[in-house]
Each structure stands twice: as C-alpha cells, then as structure tokens.
A and B are shown apart, each in its own frame.
Chain A
Amino acid sequence: MFIQEKDPNWKVKVGLAEMLKGGVIMDIINAEQAQIAQEAGACAVMALEKVPADIRKEGGVARMADPAVIEQIQKTVSIPVMAKCRIGHFAEAQVLEALEVDYIDESEVLTPADEKNHIDKTKFKVPFVCGCRNLGEALRRIGEGAALIRTKGEAGTGNIVEAVRHMRQIMGEMKKLTVLSEDELMQEAKNLGAPYELVVEVAKTGKLPVPNFAAGGIATPADASLMMQLGAEANFVGSGIFKSANPSKRAKAIVIATTHYQDAKLIAEVSKELGDPMPGLDIASIPEEHLLQIR
C-alpha cells in the first residue's frame, strides 16, 4: 500500500489499533473517570475537556484537553490514553505527541480549526484515528495517514441511528467495490472522492486497510452489540457512560456486550437495572448547522 512507503511507522500504528479490537474505548474528562473506565474493562480511554453531550449543550469553541489533566490520566491508568485534537489543528496534535498520548483522534466533536484541510498524519510518529460517514471519507483519511477509522455517528446524542447509517454505508460501498471490474475502479474512485490506490485495494480485499470501529451515539449494551454485528471491530463510547445514572455499572455492561456481542442471553442479563441511560436526542430535532458529523 502506498501509505506504507510514505510512513515508516505504519506497521506499529495499525498494530496498536489491532490490539484494541474487541474492546471499548471510553471518553473521560479526568483521572477519576479514567480509573472507573479501566476498572470497568475499557481497553483504552479518550481524554477530552468535555464529553460531547456537554459540548453540544454549552456551545462555544471545543479544544483539546488540558495537558496537565492528560498527564494525570496517564499516571493513573496502565491502558492506552488517547486524546482529541481539532480537525486540521496540527499544532494541537504536536502537543499531544509531545505528551506521548498513544493515539490522537482528529475529531469532528471539537470545533474544526481548518475548514478545508485535515492534518498530514504521516508526519507524526503517534497514530491517528479519524471519523467518517462513508467510504470516500474513510479512504481520504487513510490516504492522509489515519491508521484507524471510526464511524462519526452523531456524538453526544445517545442516538445510535447515525452510527448505524454510517456503518451500513461504508460496508455497502465496500461490497459494491468487490463486484466492479478493474476498468470501472477509476471512475468509482472519482465518484467516491477517494485515492485510486486505496479503492483498488478495497476492491480486492472487501475491507478497509485499517481497523474499522464504531462511534457516535452508543448508549446501551445492545447498541454496542448492534454495532459489532454490523461489522464494527470495537466501540468508542462517549457521553453514553458518564452521562448515565450509574457509569461504572453501565461501562462494565457495555464492555461485556462488546466482547460477547453474539450472546443475547448474556446481554439481556447485563442490561438489567443499569439505571437511567443518558438522555437521548432525536436527530431531526437538531438544526443542521449543529450537526457534528458534517464537519
């Protein structure tokens, strides 16, 4: 793959994403929440200043987390610590790399710093994860050096509908590529707005060249199972845990449901008496300019 030639660290970048498979990465805003997440069985934590539900409520500019908080989190837990930077804000990414976070999420949840360009992620030693709504977006991000892809969903809503839409979209578009003949792939690359080399590769393998996780709206154990059954290889959970009535119990239940996603009996068991989930939002009630996924 052409990215491999551009990025000497490609193998270890994708390697860490492979290690996260089958797990749950939890949004946290301080060391105390990080500890709860690790205790519940999270395979990594994602540090940010506010969870998406609060960003949505409070408005204003959302930026990367305070480095002091990130350091406290790193001292507190042994699992990988990820952190979010704004889209296109390569200086925030440089700061996060200097802090030695394990993964950087160039995230639509924060306020974009560049409306046109994403970060050239091949310039970094630390790997990046990026969100997407469709295959073209996924392959553009991989073309820029993202070593892990997640659905965007609609963060901070507790509503799974957008993550489902995005996962089905990507899976469907990949399936379609596998039945096209070789001479149709250039036109399809143009339609998708994706690098031709990556389109050819997906057409051959039927899957993304990097792991493909779900994010944006997961709030219950059944949501986690749904995304795994639709083809996600792991789950990011944002506001769904720490905006619910009993974060610790719900976090643990979502971890179990992600591992045993085909065992409905067990998921029924762990879904009992979790307390109130985070309050949900109907996507139709959100004005279009407030949607995070279009960033």
Chain B
Amino acid sequence: MKKRIGVLALQGDYLLHQQTLEKIKQNGILVRTKEELKSCDALIIPGGESTTIRKLALENGLFDAIKNFGKEKPLMGTCAGLILLAKEVSDSKAEETLALLDIAVKRTAYGRQIHSFVQVGKVNLQNGNPNFEMVFIRAPKIVNVGKTVERIGFCDDEVVVVRDRNLLGLSFHPELTADTRIHQYFVNQFLN
C-alpha cells in the first residue's frame, strides 16, 4: 500500500512539498490537526516562520502529537522545520522546540532577506551526482551536531543536511527547486 506522507500545513510553503511528493508519485496529506497526523506514516515540516508554526501547533495540541510522532516515525524538516526539530536554538529570543534532533541551530544566521542566496552544494544521497541546487531563504545555520547525528550535506564548509535515525533535517529548501532527489531519498531511506 502507498504510504501516507503528511505535510504540516499550518503556515509556510507546504503546498510546494505536496507538489514535490506528487511528482515522485507519493501521497502527500496536508496536516492541520492531530487527528490528521494520526493517519500518516511520515511527516514533513515545511519552511515558513518557525515562531508562527510553533504557536499554531501549540494551540491545538499538534505540538505534543508531533513530538511523540517523531520519536519513531520518519520526520523531515526544512528551514523552519529544521529549527523546530533542533534540540537547541542558540539565540536570545529562542523558544521551546520539539527537541528531537540533537543539533544546535542559529536562526536567520546568514542575515535578513537581502542575504538570501542560491548555491550548488553537495549531498551524499547514496548514489549518483551529489551536486544539489540549494536555496537559502533567511536560513538557519547548524552550529553544533550531536554524536549520533550524521552530516550528509554541505555548502562551502557549512553542514546543511543532517540525519539521525528517523530524522532528516535541512537548512535550505529543496521544495523550491524542480529537483526531487531529496524527497525521493527521504521516501527510500526512511519509509521503506
């Protein structure tokens, strides 16, 4: 049976994740409540505003539901999603996160929108060409990585993709490009 991949649809570019999943013939389900989360086999937390997504998730109990879900089930976070997954956010205005992935991130670490950029980096996707066009929008930086966490993607010297057990985190937006390989990797490596 086709797996059901949830896309957290509280705020942000969730429709682009759903479209990317469609392109690789996967079933993307928009998730706005904990009931909708229950029927999913995996979840993607999209880009958007981490503060906003967090508040909306706390509002209807989805926050704790995702925290539990992420203990075992596959979870991918991009940009704001990465911030929410991180155990530690190293800035003065930091708020409580899901604290699932053993990394520390710094929000908007490259600077405001004027410093947003596109660059080709490298991701170890197990096979084929490692080059990947990476779109960074007011992006966070991964500033510390726990012992069990694997670094699998780099842009210049920065770590930009990490994985640990059932968790995959990226500081850029694969959903903003036509390249579907990271979503395919998530499905192949985490769902099967």
Contact = CB atoms under 8 A, between A and B. Distances in A.
Interface SS of chain A = loop
A12 B113 contact: yes
B176 A256 contact: no
A255 B56 contact: yes
B168 to A, nearest CB: 19
Interface residues of A, number: 33
Nearest to B80: A19
Contacts of B79: 19
A78 B135 contact: no
Contact of B49 (A79, A125, A256): A79
Given A22-B9, A22-B10, A12 B48 contact: no
Size bin of chain B's contact surface = 35 or more
Contacts of B12: 18-19, 21-23
A232 interface: no
B184 interface: no
Contact of B176 (A11, A97, A103, A259): A11
A166 to B, nearest CB: 22
Interface stretch (A36-44, A59-67, A131-139, A172-180): A36-44
Interface of B: 9-16, 32, 47-49, 51-52, 55-56, 59, 79-80, 91, 93, 107-108, 111-114, 116-118, 135-138, 173, 176
Given A21-B11, A22-B11, A43-B48, 16 more contacts: A11-B135, A12-B117, A15-B137, A21-B48, A22-B9, A22-B48, A23-B12, A23-B48, A41-B56, A44-B49, A79-B52, A101-B113, A127-B113, A255-B56, A259-B32, A263-B32
13 contacts: A12-B135, A16-B138, A18-B176, A19-B79, A21-B11, A22-B11, A23-B52, A41-B56, A80-B49, A100-B114, A103-B113, A259-B9, A260-B32
